[in-house]
Structure 1
């Protein structure tokens, strides 16, 4: 059964599911909106869509870690619908990764706060809470303390200003993530890694009442279809914009001299 192991879950699975749930409830685009390339995403579904893209991108990066690492995605935790974006277990330790897709935005990082476009976010608090939660649940499952390092991954920021790095949360960009992980020294023995990883893939380790999830492959296929639709709409908007530029330039060339003469005559009269 696919839901019996968290190892089957895809990067961004929970966010993909929420994106599609919201999108399914949105009214369909009119023929005119489709013609001009209006996005199929609504104001409600767009943030979830961007979040899913961020987690998928980080999932691809984590896929380049060696076989000595166990990588879990979209881990349901607690009693509700909360999940941890990524959980890593390997020689360098245990990590919870919180992914934030703010591509093209300016981000400021201080010891106690993170600002995105000048607005304060509670990312550091959430990252600490996730790591503490993971450590408590994994420790209970293996019968010994498990130290978990919180990591905040920022996707393609336009500008990242580090005023002062937080002491207890590692803040990295997507480009920095893999080199940072590979540079870390080993702290866990192989038998410790195996014991923690065996507990981590069990849904009941994390969630009070784990439920079977949607088939990951089917969910990813539906999200890929939506992503293709978003891409087609974007390309269509680009073609319309290019057409307007070309048309405007041609009109300026054809009628520019006549228009200038008319304006001069109007000014002299």
Structure 2
């Protein structure tokens, strides 16, 4: 199925995560529906004591068990992640109109960057985490820090300017807000707007526009590559 592309700089916060949650829910409902209908048809066609009907009943019960133990917790985590990104996105959108450009849900070919900020204070990537906490900065997992650094490098390759990686916890208490670990600053989401607004000026208005344009072109190029891949596979 061909999907109409939209402006990649105008995606909403958490858009990919929210779409993933919807797909998981729909596929789960469809799978259960198919099994339930198949079980009913087998029972009607062959009788309630037929081995085929009993087998389909077992398959339905196993599916319900798997969904309750594996699929539903996964959907819940993805839903919590999407809500976290939406919450952080709403906070960051307050910076629009104050010489800041805000890009959400950016795909640069190597994973997804939750939020990119370009403004007088510089260029920032924000990785949103929705863990309920508490969070101790000294114990933030290495893979989380590596993810934030990978996002920084991806944006630096595109823009040619220094990028500061941030991790924002949408729900958690953070023991040392604004502390850095391995080059990544960690904070609760509520502190993001004030932190960014207080950064000393590094970029002029023209430079902000230039960096934003470079990111826009990179996002459009990645979108074109994805479109070509879909056309080749017919999806």
Structure 1 runs (4+) deviating above 4 angstroms are 205-208
User: Retained in 2: the 8 A contact 1:12–1:53?
Assistant: yes
Aligned to 1:172: 187
Match of 1:224 in 2: none
Equivalent pair of 1:75/1:206 in contact (CA under 8 Å) = no
CA-CA distance at 1:156 after TM superposition: 2.0
Match of 2:135 in 1: 107
* Distance (whole Å) between structure 2 residues aligned to residue 45 and residue 194 of structure 1: 38
Contact 2:120–2:203 (CA under 8 A) maintained in structure 1: yes
* Distance of 2:96 and 2:10 partners within structure 1: 18
Q: Give distance in 1, aligned partners of 2:171 and 2:20.
A: 23
**What corresponds to 1:194 in structure 2?**
209
- Structure 1 residue matching 2:94: 3-state secondary structure: coil
- Give the TM-score taking structure 2 as reference length: 0.71
How many aligned positions are there? 186
Tell me which residue corresponds to 1:155: 170
Retained in 2: the 8 A contact 1:72–1:201?
no
Partner of 1:74: 105
CA contact (8 A) 2:137 2:174 kept: yes
Aligned ranges for residues 36-47 of structure 1 at < 5 Å? 42-47=72-77
Within 2, Cα distance between the matches of 1:66 and 1:56?
16
Distance in 2 of aligned mates of 1:176 and 1:19: 28
**Matches of residues 1-269 of structure 1 in structure 2 within 5 Å?**
3=5, 5-27=7-29, 42-67=72-97, 68-78=99-109, 82-103=111-132, 105-110=133-138, 113-114=139-140, 120=141, 122-138=143-159, 145-157=160-172, 159-162=173-176, 165-166=180-181, 168-202=183-217, 203-204=219-220, 209-211=225-227
- Is the 1:100–1:155 contact (alpha carbons within 8 Å) kept by the matching residues of 2? yes
TM-superposed deviation, 1:147: 1.0
| Structure-2 change in CA distance of 1:124 and 1:207 (3 Å) | farther
CA distance in 2, matches of 1:43, 1:24: 15
- DSSP-derived class of the 2:109 partner: coil
TM-score normalised by the chain length of structure 1: 0.62
Which secondary structure state, in structure 1, belongs to the residue aligned with residue 73 of structure 2?
A: coil
- Listed one character per residue, the Cα deviations across residues 26-81 of structure 1 (whole Å, up to 9, x for unaligned) are 13699xxxxxxx9xx812211110000000001100111042111111011216xx
Cα distance in 2 for residues equivalent to 1:200 and 1:62: 18
Alignment check: 8 A CA contact 2:117 2:123 kept = yes
Q: In structure 1, how many angstroms separate the alpha carbons of the residues matched to 2:82 and 2:6?
A: 23
CA distance in 2, matches of 1:66, 1:8: 13
Give the whole-Å Cα distance in 2 for the aligned partners of 1:205 and 1:146: 19
Answer 1 or 2: which has greater helix percent: 2
Conserved 8 A contact 1:137-1:205: no
Cα RMSD of the aligned pairs, angstroms, is 2.7
